[in-house]
Amino acid sequence: MSSARYAVSQKIDAGGMAEIWMGRARTNDGFVRPVAIKRILPHLVNDEHFARLFLDEARITLKLSHGNLVQTLDVGSAAGVHYLVMEWVDGLNLRSFLRQVGPGLALGPATYIARQVLEGLAYAHDATDLEGEPLQIVHRDISPPNVLLSRHGEVKVADFGLARARGRISRTRPGIIQGKYAYMCPELVAGEPVDRRADLFAVGILLWEMLAGARLFRADSDAATLDRVRACEVPPLPAMVPPVVAAVVMRALARDPDARYPTARALHDALTDALPLDAVRFTGFDLADLVAEVMPDAPPDVIAPPLFVDVPTALVAQLGRVAPHADLLDALTAGIERLEAQAGIDDERRSGSDRRKRRRAPGGRRHTDRSVFVDRVLVLLDAGMGNAEVAEHLNAEGLTTRTNTPWTAKAIAQLARRARQRRRASGDEDASSVL
Positions marked catalytic: 141
In one-letter notation, the amino acid at residue 226 is: L
* Pairwise CA distance, residues 158 & 164, whole Å: 14
In one-letter notation, the amino acid at residue 240 is: M
Q: Are 216 and 182 contacting, i.e. CB atoms less than 8 angstroms apart?
A: yes
300: Cβ contacts below 8 Å, ≥ 6 apart: 90, 91, 151
Q: Are 36 and 18 contacting, i.e. CB atoms less than 8 angstroms apart?
A: no
